[in-house]
Amino acid sequence: MSYLLQTPKSYYFRMKVPIDLRDVIKAREVKKSLKTLNKQRAERMAFIYAAQWREKFESLREPKMTYPFTTIKIAGVEKKPDGTISFGTIEMDPDKPEAETLLFKNIMQQLEASLPSMPPTSPANFPAKATSGMLLSVAMEKFLHEKCELNPKAMHHYQTEVPDDFKLIIRILGDKRVDEVNRDDAIALFGTLKQLPANLNKVKRYKGKTITEILALKEKPRAESTINGVMVNASALYGWLTKRDHVKQDYFEGLRVPRKKGGRERLDDTDLLKIFGDSIYTEHEYKYTYQYWLPLIALHSGMRMNEICQLRSKDIIDEDGILVMHVVEDGDDMSVKTDAGIRRIPVHPMLLQLGFGDFLQSRQNADCLFDNLPVAEDGRRSKRASRWFCLFRPKVGMTEKGKDFHSFRHTIIDDLKQSEVNERVLKALVGHADQLSEDVQKDDITMDRYGKKYKAEILNNMVCLLDYSRVLGGVVPWASGTQPYTNAKAASVTSSTVLNTATVPLVEVQSGDSHERIFGRSLEAARNH
């Protein structure tokens, strides 16, 4: 058991030494100053120290390797008809253990040289691999420590969310040895999770009760997604243990609650009219610019919320006269869901009609395209925007279950599929690496390894198939100088303010030794759309 102790000068890491090792370590507990008064930093450091000490305790418990004899002084070696080797006369010398190792290696090297035709020894003749005595708690700490080291961007996930699931697993199965867990235990865990209520550590009536006592209350079961989350983490742990030969297989694989058909729904015209008929779009009554642009960009690109929130001005560049948004992962505060998420999406002509060019120009000197979207602890910029949209939906009358911000993505994917577009181009546009037929996936190996990425013109042709002008009639375009709504209503900006302008301000982007105008072909496409 490890814990933090706060003093006026610093946090201290303290950990009790197991009873069976106190005589070896000569202490009842270990203690170390973390030299910080920052609690979050102290917790991270304590987590690492705890993992290191548990590994130390485990190594002290492991039996030392011994040879089947002390020292060989005289050894007669005989090869039997079945190919195995036996030793004849052996005389022991307990005072020279190091000679045993050297002589044993020399004998085996000579046998390999003199008996080249000897058949390989059957695996059955070797002693069985020793089973792992590692406890679940130890394995979990090692797993979390390694994941944090290898993937710092996911550290928040492995320090806050996964440990809670691991504690619940131990609470249900007990802190047994990892090699003692079998398929029956995995099934028992799965069955128990399907009956347990949510928030075991937050609801007072569950406090101090055992799992059996909580089950007897017959409360409303937890959400299926929560159950699957625990099982996914259990499977990840045992997959990790399997690769390291601590266990034979992942017994938790495949144990999931089937996803109900439906899930997230696409948005119909009624939903879109509710969203874009709000005063945010008809009178510019918004506090932050992301509240105006996020739904519009999502509807015309299929980008995920965090992909839009983390956009920078330098990520939107000209490619052969077409304005293209790049989804990248080249900074500590940049992340994508999968490798396929790193991609390019042309700016839809309708976004340019609604003033996206002016908005982009106004943000050329800013680090991020949208302000007031700080990076959260999990490394994502979408947390504040997600909270806003959750409150915005019921405000405009969108209360139907399964319809959220991600539904914009479902909407455009469904509309493009109904247009019978090329499946590979669609995948490249929306950042999907799976959900394709086996034949297509096999072909993708050749396409992805040897083929170049699709040209901006091909992607732009697909984007331009999306037409939602029927639900955007009341949207007032964003124009240079537009101010967010404060106490008084923002000055009305008519569509003619932008659409009837003869010229659009140019944004210049360095390209080789020259500068290129980036709105030429895109604006022309917008006016002809």
* pLDDT tens per residue across span 319-341: 989 999 999 877 656 667 666 77
The mean pLDDT value of the chain amounts to: 77
Q: What CA–CA distances, in Å, run from 395 to 94, 278, 385, 391, 400?
A: 85, 9, 15, 7, 12
pLDDT of residue 441: 43
What single string gives the DSSP state of each residue in 452-501?
A: PPPPHHHHHHHHTT---GGG-TTPPPP-TT-----SSPPPP--THHHHT-
> Hey, which residues does 458 pair with through a beta bridge?
none
Say if residue 69's pLDDT is above 90. Answer: no
Q: Which of 49-58, 162-171, 212-221 has the lowest mean pLDDT?
A: 49-58
Give the model's pLDDT for residue 8: 84
Higher pLDDT, 505 or 140: 140
Confidence check: pLDDT of 297 > 80: yes
For the whole model, what pTM was predicted?
Answer: 0.55
- Which position has the token pair 């993937």? 151
Percent pLDDT > 70 in the chain is: 70
CA nearest neighbour of 25 among 35, 33, 15: 15
Per-residue confidence (pLDDT) for residue 160, from 0 to 100: 82
Please tell me which residue, 39 or 271, carries the higher pLDDT value.
271
pLDDT tens by residue, 110-158: 555 554 444 444 444 434 444 457 899 999 999 998 888 887 767 778 8
User: What is the arithmetic mean of pLDDT over 299-328?
Assistant: 92
Model pLDDT, residue 451 = 41
Q: Which of 72-81, 186-195, 334-343, 363-372 has the highest mean pLDDT?
A: 186-195
Considering the chain, what percentage of its residues have pLDDT values greater than 90?
42
Nearest Cα to 324, choosing from 355, 375, 360? 360
Residues of the chain with CATH 1.10.443.10: 269-492
Instruction: Indicate if the pLDDT at residue 513 is higher than 70.
Output: no
Does pLDDT of 529 surpass 70? no
Which residues fall within 8 angstroms of residue 374, CB to CB, at 6 or more apart?
381, 384
Looking at per-residue pLDDT, the higher value among 45 and 134 belongs to 134
Q: Is the pLDDT of residue 21 over 90?
A: no
Are the CB atoms for 62 and 20 separated by under 8 Å? Answer: no
Residues 46, 49, 55, 58, CA torsion sign: negative
Confidence at 87, pLDDT banded by 50, 70, 90: low
Instruction: Label residue 465 by pLDDT band (50, 70, 90).
Output: very high
Looking at residues 246-260, what average pLDDT do you find?
A: 88
Question: What are the pLDDT digits (tens) for 193-240?
Answer: 999 999 888 888 998 899 999 999 999 999 998 999 999 999 999 999
Tell me what pLDDT residue 101 has: 58
Specify the pLDDT at position 481. 59
Q: Residues 271-293: what's their mean pLDDT?
A: 94
Would you state the pLDDT for residue 168? 94
pLDDT value of position 67: 43
CA dihedral 459, 460, 463, 465 (to 10 degrees): -110
Residue 494: its pLDDT value, please? 33
What's the mean pLDDT in 453-459? 89
| Helices within 329-437 (DSSP H only) | 349-353, 356-362, 383-395, 407-418, 423-430
pLDDT category of residue 17 using cuts at 50, 70 and 90: confident
Q: Which residue has the higher pLDDT, 24 or 191?
A: 191
Say whether pLDDT at 95 is over 90: no
The class level of CATH for 269-492 reads mainly alpha
User: Mean pLDDT across the stretch 362-385?
Assistant: 87
Task: Give the range among 242-251, 425-434, 485-494 with minimum mean pLDDT.
Answer: 485-494
**Residue 47, token pair as written in the block:** 């987590």
Q: State the pLDDT at residue 365.
A: 86
pLDDT of 442? 43
Decide: residue 293, CB within 10 A, 0-12 exposed, 13-18 middle, 19+ buried.
buried
pLDDT at 480: 64
Size (the chain), residues:
529
Whether residue 71 is predicted with pLDDT greater than 70 in this model: the reply is no
Looking at residue 102, what is its pLDDT?
60
Classify 282 as helix, strand or coil: helix
